[in-house]
Amino acid sequence: MTNPQLPSHLRRISHVFVDESMTDSPMARRVRERLTGTAQEAIPWTVVPENQDRIEFERGEEQALYLKEYKGKFLRFCPGTRAYHCCGYRIIHIGENCPMACSYCILQAYFQDRILKIWANQDALFSELGNSFGADRNTRFRVGTGEFTDSLALEHLTGYSHDLVDFLNEYDNVVLELKSKVVDLSWMAAAKRTDRVLPAWSLNAPYINEHEEFDVSTLTERLQAARTCTEAGFRVCLHFDPIIHYPAWREGYAEIIDRIFDYVKPEQIAYMSLGSFRCMPQLTPIIADNFPETTYIYNEFVPGLDSKARLLRPLRVEQFSFMVDRLRAHGMDKQLYFCMESTEVWNEVFGYTPSDFGGLGNHLMARAFER
């Protein structure tokens, strides 16, 4: 008898919670079906009564999946700050928390439990999105789901991105970016056009990938997936965020930058962000606690205008300049942008600022809809 395992990043799920109102939802039925026949088939399900606003789950490394009826807004603005140039993308909120573990992950500060929440009331989500995207078909939207979770981490169980791609086929004024550190390309089957979905992977120096990112796909797997998408006609996005200052950073970032172009061509990359490690004050002790081997948090940081600690500007500029020079040598140019950086840093590294091309949000919107 076959008893296949779930992908390794989902094997710590040992319990499913489901809101009473969602027990019969398509999402709950799908998760049940997809667990059937796997080693996790027998994990217990608990129905959460309507009047219960909190669930308790505390079992060491184990994780719980919570299929929840979400009552808030699904379409949001990215929580960027006015002090720096923000890319202005919109978030489709599909759930919270992530089964993987990256030492630098901001979600550790947001969610201090091991409960992976998925908004199971997809009908409400699609209704809100339809109202927003359908109100004026001339208004364009660049949207993504990878802000409070990884876009594809739970895809194997939920098929959420597949459903979203399917729904958005009707809205050619929307480009969806699916940002992930794992490989799950099952959403591709739902895409009727290749120019309205931007699969995206975060990359880092091999040393950082090996020492600071756990349960994620390898860099090679991510790049192979990017190549598969480009071969199918999609463009991809690649992101270097957070760039980390560690002793051999030059060799590490040079190596991964060079490897990118063994898999994809510059013109197949819609855009690429560069972001230096930034850290809310309350995140540092959490990283130190969760990842005691981590040393980059003890670098030289200063508080930024958004109150987050960021690497001293000369060090950031040095890293950015090194990476931008190398990327430009491979043919990358206007696809490159900084995530949350100042006008001064843009000028120093790129020699221009977002205002020179009408603002970062406008620039990325134009690139997203280029085809």
Binding footprint of ligand SF4 on the chain (CB under 6 A): 98, 100-102, 105, 107, 150, 181, 216
Query: In the Cβ-directed half-sphere of 296, how many Cα atoms lie within 13 Å?
Result: 21
Measured from the CB atom, the residue of 95 and 354 that comes closer to ligand SF4 is: 95
Measured from the CB atom, the residue of 67 and 100 that comes closer to ligand SF4 is: 100
Measured from the CB atom, the residue of 150 and 163 that comes closer to ligand SF4 is: 150
Residues with Cβ within 8 Å of 227's Cβ and at least 6 positions away in sequence, in order, are 263, 264
Measured from the CB atom, the residue of 120 and 216 that comes closer to ligand SF4 is: 216
Measured from the CB atom, the residue of 211 and 330 that comes closer to ligand SF4 is: 211
Provide the minimum distance between the beta carbon of 164 and ligand SF4 in the complex, in angstroms, as a whole number: 18
Q: How far apart are CA 132 and CA 129, in angstroms?
A: 5
Q: How far apart are CA 69 and CA 83, in angstroms?
A: 35
DSSP letter at 303 equals E
Number of other residues whose CB lies within 10 A of the CB of residue 74: 19
Measured from the CB atom, the residue of 35 and 107 that comes closer to ligand SF4 is: 107
Q: How far apart are CA 18 and CA 97, in angstroms?
A: 16
Q: How far apart are CA 257 and CA 336, in angstroms?
A: 13
Cα distance between the two ends of the chain: 48
Q: Do 92 and 128 touch, CB atoms closer than 8 A?
A: no
Provide the minimum distance between the beta carbon of 163 and ligand SF4 in the complex, in angstroms, as a whole number: 20
Q: How far apart are CA 125 and CA 93, in angstroms?
A: 9
- CA 207, distance to chain mean position in Å, is 20
Provide the minimum distance between the beta carbon of 168 and ligand SF4 in the complex, in angstroms, as a whole number: 22
The per-residue DSSP string of 48-107 comes to EPTT--------TT-EEEEEE---S-SEEE----TTSB---PEEE--EE--SSEETT-TH
Provide the minimum distance between the beta carbon of 355 and ligand SF4 in the complex, in angstroms, as a whole number: 30
Q: What kind and span of H or E run contains 274?
A: strand 269-276
Q: Which residue has the tokens 């205008």?
A: 305
Provide the minimum distance between the beta carbon of 136 and ligand SF4 in the complex, in angstroms, as a whole number: 32
Provide the minimum distance between the beta carbon of 110 and ligand SF4 in the complex, in angstroms, as a whole number: 10
In terms of phi and psi (left: phi > 0; alpha: psi -120 to 50; beta: otherwise), the region of 233 is: left
Provide the minimum distance between the beta carbon of 307 and ligand SF4 in the complex, in angstroms, as a whole number: 21
Provide the minimum distance between the beta carbon of 153 and ligand SF4 in the complex, in angstroms, as a whole number: 6
Q: Dig out the tokens for 369 from the structure.
A: 């809809």
Measured from the CB atom, the residue of 22 and 101 that comes closer to ligand SF4 is: 101
Provide the minimum distance between the beta carbon of 330 and ligand SF4 in the complex, in angstroms, as a whole number: 25
Measured from the CB atom, the residue of 48 and 287 that comes closer to ligand SF4 is: 287
Q: Do 48 and 102 touch, CB atoms closer than 8 A?
A: no
Q: How far apart are CA 123 and CA 152, in angstroms?
A: 20
Measured from the CB atom, the residue of 150 and 184 that comes closer to ligand SF4 is: 150
Provide the minimum distance between the beta carbon of 107 and ligand SF4 in the complex, in angstroms, as a whole number: 5
Measured from the CB atom, the residue of 19 and 184 that comes closer to ligand SF4 is: 184
